[in-house]
Each structure stands twice: as structure tokens, then as C-alpha cells.
Structure 1
Amino acid sequence: MSDADPAVLPDRPTARWLILDGQGRVLLFRFDYAEGPLAGTAFWATPGGGCEPGETYADAARRELFEETGLIVDDPGPEAAQVIECFRLPDGRMARVDQRFFLLRTEDFDLSNAAWTEEEQRVLTAHRWWSADDIRTSTETIWPAELADLLATL
């Protein structure tokens, strides 16, 4: 994250998912950047991504869920949370990222990477189900930083 003035940064609307299994654990992906402006950066984050031009948060949520997990939902339901942060995007630009989180409770499923973009194939190196306690005690970087507290409100 950055101390950049959010008033002068471009907005980046983003739809993300809080996918919870039957034990209340959240699905996170590990992002490992070996090249480009984020080279050497590694972190865990929820599935999701930026809204395409003209796309609503709900539309982006449906698209991102399918692309990153293979799951299909007709209606993502209401937004479960919102987190706004300023950070560097993979292309190097700083942005004010308005993240809208949608909630999906699910049982075990076979995650599919068949619709991953070339960039996702390069940087998404693992996925794992995390409990709120796992997140609180981890020494790894996990975004958003307040994820464990956010899970406690669901």
C-alpha cells in the first residue's frame, strides 16, 4: 500500500469474492510476481479483479468468479463489504482501488484454471483455504489487511 494522495489517483473499481467453505474458511490465491513493476512481490488475496469498462460490480463478480474458479452464479447477491485502498497495479500505475466484496458459501469444489488469463497463469501460484485464525497468525502478506476482521462480520 502507499501513502499516495488518493484524490489524485485514478479509480480502479474491483469486484472480489469471499468464498467460504463449510468450515468458514476463505479461499485465497497466492500471487507471485517474478517480473515487471511488482517483481519480487508475493501475497495472498481473494479471487476477483477489475471491472471492465461499462461493467457493474455484480457483472464483474460473476465474470471473475467463473474465470478464476470455474464456478457460475446467476446472482452474486448484495455486496458484503467494501474496502478502498491505494496501491500499485501490476502494470506499475498507482490507483485508488474500490474493492466490492461478494459472499459465496460453498462446499468442496474442484477449482478450474481453464479460463485464467496469461498473466494469471504466470502469477497465481497456489490456492488455499484459510481460517480467520490462520490469517491473523500468518507472517505472509494477505490482502485486504483487515480480512480476518471482515470475516468475523459475516
Structure 2
Amino acid sequence: MTTYGLGPDWVPGPDGVPFRRAARVILLDDADRLLLVRGHDAGETSRSWWFTVGGGLEPGEEPRAGALRELREETGLRLSAEQLQGPVLTRSAVFDFAAVTCRQDEEFFLARGTETRLDDGGWTALERDVLDELRWWELDELDAAVAAGAVVYPRLLPGLVRRLAGGWDGTSEHVVE
């Protein structure tokens, strides 16, 4: 069943706002390029933003397993659970999508990948409607794009990735957006 036209992983929260738990991967290649997805709002196609690979958890699914599944489905890349570090960040976000206010709690994991060829063959019908591209970003290029007005979520992602590129220190911060 699709709830609110968003997908089956969205359920009414205690306040009636669609809610889901999600897991995401901050994936860096050997050159410290960051993999991001560009998507747009189904209800307002002129709104677009960049974000990490990931998505909603299936019932009973652990965040680490969900992050690996989402990475495989959205990029064709396969990593092991041991290749994920973290969570390096947790995020609680309230946002509008498809003319619906949504709430999502996310866990972000850090991974390194050597394979950079991407395959979007695992995208769902909704993803095909709202996801526009997968792209590897050099960090200086991403900083310049954000300075020029590109929207990235979470907003602290460029700075966080610069810190994580040198190695994860074992801490996890929480952000509310």
C-alpha cells in the first residue's frame, strides 16, 4: 500500500505526519569524490537538490542492512557490512515533498568504494519519476556549486565529508533540519 502517494515505507506518525526511518551512505571513491543523487520534487519540478544514496527501511530492517540494500538498488554497487563505518551522522528532517509535509529520521554511514561505474537499474517507479542523476563530486567542485546556489542535504554535508575524508574519528553528530 502506498501511503500519501510517497511509497509503502511511509506511515502516519503520532501527529499524523507521514514518517519513515531511513539509512544513507556517504560514499567516497579513492580520489575522495562524493557520490550524490540529484532529485526533484514531484509536486514542484523546479525544486531540485543533491543528497546521498539511501532511503526508507523495510519493516524490521536494521539501518546498516538498509543502507547496503539501498546502495545496491540505487547504484548497482555492492559493499559488505564491514565496509560501512558509523553511523557517522543521524538526522531528523521535516520537509515538503509531493505537496505533503514529511518527517524522516536517518542514519548515515561512511564507505569507500573503488568501483565507480553506476547502474540505476534497481530504481523503483517513484525513483524513476523524481531522481534525475547520479554523480561523483570533487569536494572543491561541490563547495563551489553550493556557493552558487545548489541545494545539498543535509546542509552540513560538504563540511562533514571534508572531515570524514581523512578518516572517521568514531563520533556521530545529530542534526535537525
Bigger RCO (CA 8 Å, 6+ sep): 1
2:119 to 88, 108, 112: 112
Contiguous gaps of at least 5 residues in structure 2: 1-13, 165-177
Deviations 1:81-120 (A, max 9, x none): 2122211244x43233212111111224211111111122
What secondary structure does 1:115 align onto? coil
Q: 1:21 and 1:14 mapped to 2: Cα distance?
A: 23
What secondary structure does 1:101 align onto? strand
In the other structure, the counterpart of 1:130 is 137
Query: What percent of counterpart residues are identical?
Result: 34
- One-letter amino acid matched to 1:147: L
Q: 1:38 and 1:47 mapped to 2: Cα distance?
A: 21
Q: Is the 8 A contact 1:84 1:96 kept in 2?
A: yes
Distance apart, 1:38 and its partner CA: 4.0
Higher strand share: 2
Q: 1:79 and 1:38 mapped to 2: Cα distance?
A: 32
- Residues 141-152 of structure 1 correspond to what in structure 2 (within 5 A)? 141-152=151-162
What secondary structure does 1:48 align onto? strand
In the other structure, the counterpart of 2:33 is 25
Deviations 1:14-53 (A, max 9, x none): 11111101121110111134xx434332111111111122
In the other structure, the counterpart of 1:3 is none
Distance apart, 1:128 and its partner CA: 1.6
- One-letter amino acid matched to 1:83: R
- Residues 4-153 of structure 1 correspond to what in structure 2 (within 5 A)? 8=15, 9-33=17-41, 36-75=42-81, 76-90=84-98, 92-138=99-145, 139-153=149-163
Return 143-152 or 132-141, whichever deviates more.
132-141
What secondary structure does 1:136 align onto? helix
Q: 1:43 and 1:136 mapped to 2: Cα distance?
A: 14
TM-score (norm 1): 0.82
Q: 1:151 and 1:77 mapped to 2: Cα distance?
A: 13
Contiguous gaps of at least 5 residues in structure 1: 1-6
| RMSD of Structure 2 on Structure 1 (CA) | 2.2
Size of the aligned set, in residue pairs, is: 146
